[in-house]
A and B are shown apart, each in its own frame.
Chain A
Amino acid sequence: MRIVLALLTLFLAGCAIPANAPAAVKPLLSRDGAERTAFKGDDLLRAALAGAGADALPSLFRGRALTTLRLQVARLTERGVLFEERSVSRRLARFDAASGEAVLAVSSEYRMATREEINPAWAATERQWWMRFEFDAGSWWIVEQQNLPPDRWVHT
């Protein structure tokens, strides 16, 4: 029995984390990385809203962002509504590495096509898309997002 206890003690001691072991380091998202992730998210969302569906969204979106966007795409699909954008130009209007937040300003022409009006006219628009990133399983994910109303736009 003593031998078993001794072995158990040795085993537990071997498993214990040394007091001076480094804590898990949270990687810092660079501005370039945030821009790449935001651009990719914008591409995925644009495709989903234009009729591609939500299947590709889990490759970048997680949590509340994914839940909201999936529901949104499903409801638009149910109603036969497509949001289409073209002539897109984008810039990262704000980036905060500490909070992992960014705002992507998107200037484009867009239209909302419905079953009743499949080829509506295009119109110029601007939107600012806020998002929060989280790092998990070796990748950055967009976990929250929303389009900002103009009175909350970032003016740079």
Chain B
Amino acid sequence: MKRLTSALAAAVLAMWPAPAGAAGYGDPPGWCTRYSDMWTSTVVTNDPLVGTNPERNTFYGFHPDPGYDDWYGYFYGDFRGRPGDSSGWVKLLHENYPDHYFWNFATNGWAVHGHVKQYIAYYNWTFGGQCGIGSYRSLAPPPFMADQYGWPVVDIYVDSVPPYDPQPRVAAATAYSVTFTWDPVADRGDGAGPDFFEAGMDHYTSWITTGSSSALLQLASTTSPRLLTQALASNQTACLHVQAFDRLRNASAERVVCGQALLPPPMPAWSAAMQVAAAPSRAGLAGFATWFWLAPAPQPLTVAETYAGLRYAVTAMPVGAKWDFGDGGQADFSNGGGFGLAYPAPSAVRHVFETDDQAGYQVGATVRYDVTYTALIGGTSFGPNPLGSIDLPAFPLTYPVQQAQPELVMTT
């Protein structure tokens, strides 16, 4: 019987030693460590039922006289849904020699969240006063004797809550690849108040799948988010999968985001309401310069469209103009000066008609636009990427040109 075992050296030994009372909970009333070698232990686990509780199978006696013990526990912490709880001395079981007995938190319908400090004792009702507490046949309570054979004091730390779910996203995309990443997340910890315990973030596991293939590409565990770029053919989809793990291997949900290489959208059907204007406005004079411009001045054009499941913004930026003055004369401008300026501002677009034409010359202009596209993926824009160029004609102007006749006017 454990009471009769020789007094073992009270070396405080443990696989994972921790000083008793380190977490702020003191020894319970009536606690007597005499005859116990006072092994203590610290359990760190993600199991609220503490399947690795080292004391769970240590309920047995050593001697047939009297042949039984009553085992008690005293628990501090969050073991029945309340942080900072204290159980008082709770009878766990009655043991008959030489049988072994089992007790763990689930036996009482309990579960640990955060921190719990566990004291296990047998009730010394045969011998009183072994710690000067109570005496045999007196009304004073005899001591609760620390278990002599197991781990009478165990600090238990449970974090069964996974880290926050990471949120993968597309970081970049080109016509040939897509790049993914995610932002760091924190661990959440378990329990509350003085018993809160958080194991801390450990790593992320991430990988890529493409199309319907189950092959895990670029699989790796990293301690911080990373960038994963996957080369893709057109119309091929790649998905990033990522999970966050804390130090007790609690895993977040597997979060997935998919993306494609950017496909150039089809060129939209553009239109722009511009017309050729001139000064002098009604007719020009042969041999004199006429100023031209486009009214209104060309502006950037933007079209939103959806193509292959992706949203695009396509923008046409006016970059130059080509003029045909109807008399064989032409001018090509590769900058905004080619749009001219409304009179009376001096326009860079000027032309001198050499001969008159009462019916009018057909003066036309074509505006050249450089077109780009930007893809909108998951709230992020990727681009601009070139889509080509277009020419949009302005509404032409029929422009009569008159011949100026010099006349000699006699005055008196």
B306 is an interface residue with CB less than 8 A from chain A = no
In the complex, chain B residues whose CB is within 8 Å of the CB of A151:
22-23
Residues of chain A at the chain B interface (Cβ within 8 Å): 49, 68, 71-72, 75-76, 79, 83, 105, 107, 110-112, 114, 116-117, 120-121, 123-127, 146-147, 149-151, 153, 155
Given contacts A68-B13, A149-B22, A151-B22, contact A125 B100 (CB under 8 A): no
Whether A126 and B247, one on each chain, are in contact in the complex, defined by CB atoms closer than 8 angstroms, is yes
Contact of A112 among B44, B52, B157, B249 (CB under 8 A): B52
Which residue on chain A has the smallest CB distance to residue B12?
A68
Whether B52 and A126, one on each chain, are in contact in the complex, defined by CB atoms closer than 8 angstroms, is no
Whether B11 and A71, one on each chain, are in contact in the complex, defined by CB atoms closer than 8 angstroms, is yes
The A-contacting residues of B in range 178-229, CB under 8 angstroms, are 197, 199-200, 202
Contact of B57 among A71, A75, A111, A116 (CB under 8 A): A116
Distance (Å) between the CB of B193 and the closest chain A CB?
14
B18 is an interface residue with CB less than 8 A from chain A = yes
The A-contacting residues of B in range 51-87, CB under 8 angstroms, are 51-52, 54, 57
In the complex, chain A residues whose CB is within 8 Å of the CB of B197:
150
In the complex, chain A residues whose CB is within 8 Å of the CB of B13:
68, 71-72, 75
Q: How many residues of B contact A (CB 8 A)?
A: 34
Distance (Å) between the CB of B148 and the closest chain A CB?
11
Which residue on chain A has the smallest CB distance to residue B248?
A124
Distance (Å) between the CB of B340 and the closest chain A CB?
67
Given contacts A124-B46, A126-B248, A151-B23, contact A112 B16 (CB under 8 A): no
B384 is an interface residue with CB less than 8 A from chain A = no
Whether A149 and B200, one on each chain, are in contact in the complex, defined by CB atoms closer than 8 angstroms, is no
B165 is an interface residue with CB less than 8 A from chain A = no
Whether A125 and B202, one on each chain, are in contact in the complex, defined by CB atoms closer than 8 angstroms, is no
In the complex, chain B residues whose CB is within 8 Å of the CB of A125:
43-45, 52, 248
Whether A155 and B18, one on each chain, are in contact in the complex, defined by CB atoms closer than 8 angstroms, is no
Given contacts A71-B13, A126-B248, A149-B42, contact A111 B19 (CB under 8 A): no
In the complex, chain B residues whose CB is within 8 Å of the CB of A117:
57
The residue among A107, A114, A123, A155 with the most chain B CB atoms within 10 A of its own CB is A123
Bound-complex Cα distance A126 to B249 (A): 9
B47 is an interface residue with CB less than 8 A from chain A = yes
The A-contacting residues of B in range 281-316, CB under 8 angstroms, are none
The A-contacting residues of B in range 1-57, CB under 8 angstroms, are 11, 13-19, 22-23, 37, 39, 42-47, 51-52, 54, 57
In the complex, chain A residues whose CB is within 8 Å of the CB of B47:
123
In the complex, chain A residues whose CB is within 8 Å of the CB of B19:
149
Bound-complex Cα distance A49 to B202 (A): 26
B147 is an interface residue with CB less than 8 A from chain A = no
Q: Mark B139-171, 1 if CB is under 8 A from A, else 0.
A: 000000000010000010100000000000000
Contact of B16 among A105, A120, A121, A147 (CB under 8 A): A147
* 6 residue pairs bridging A and B, Cβ less than 8 Å apart: A107-B247, A107-B248, A117-B57, A149-B19, A149-B22, A149-B23
Given contacts A117-B57, A126-B248, A149-B19, contact A110 B52 (CB under 8 A): yes
Q: A125-B45, A127-B44 are in contact. List 15 more A-B contacts (CB 8 A).
A: A75-B37, A105-B247, A107-B249, A112-B52, A112-B54, A123-B46, A124-B45, A125-B43, A125-B52, A126-B44, A126-B247, A127-B16, A146-B17, A147-B16, A149-B155
Bound-complex Cα distance A150 to B116 (A): 12
Bound-complex Cα distance A123 to B43 (A): 10
Bound-complex Cα distance A121 to B13 (A): 24
Given contacts A146-B17, A147-B16, contact A124 B249 (CB under 8 A): yes
Contact of B52 among A71, A75, A123 (CB under 8 A): A123
In the complex, chain B residues whose CB is within 8 Å of the CB of A155:
200
* Top 6 A-B pairs, shortest CB-CB distance: A149-B18, A124-B249, A126-B247, A147-B16, A123-B52, A72-B13
Whether A111 and B52, one on each chain, are in contact in the complex, defined by CB atoms closer than 8 angstroms, is yes
Bound-complex Cα distance A114 to B51 (A): 14
Distance (Å) between the CB of A79 and the closest chain B CB?
7
Bound-complex Cα distance A76 to B41 (A): 13
Whether A147 and B52, one on each chain, are in contact in the complex, defined by CB atoms closer than 8 angstroms, is no
The residue among B39, B44, B54, B199 with the most chain A CB atoms within 10 A of its own CB is B44
Whether A150 and B157, one on each chain, are in contact in the complex, defined by CB atoms closer than 8 angstroms, is yes
Which residue on chain B has the smallest CB distance to residue A146?
B17
In the complex, chain B residues whose CB is within 8 Å of the CB of A112:
15, 52, 54
Whether B51 and A121, one on each chain, are in contact in the complex, defined by CB atoms closer than 8 angstroms, is yes
In the complex, chain A residues whose CB is within 8 Å of the CB of B149:
79
Distance (Å) between the CB of A74 and the closest chain B CB?
10
In the complex, chain B residues whose CB is within 8 Å of the CB of A124:
45-46, 248-250
Distance (Å) between the CB of B2 and the closest chain A CB?
13
Which residue on chain B has the smallest CB distance to residue A153?
B200
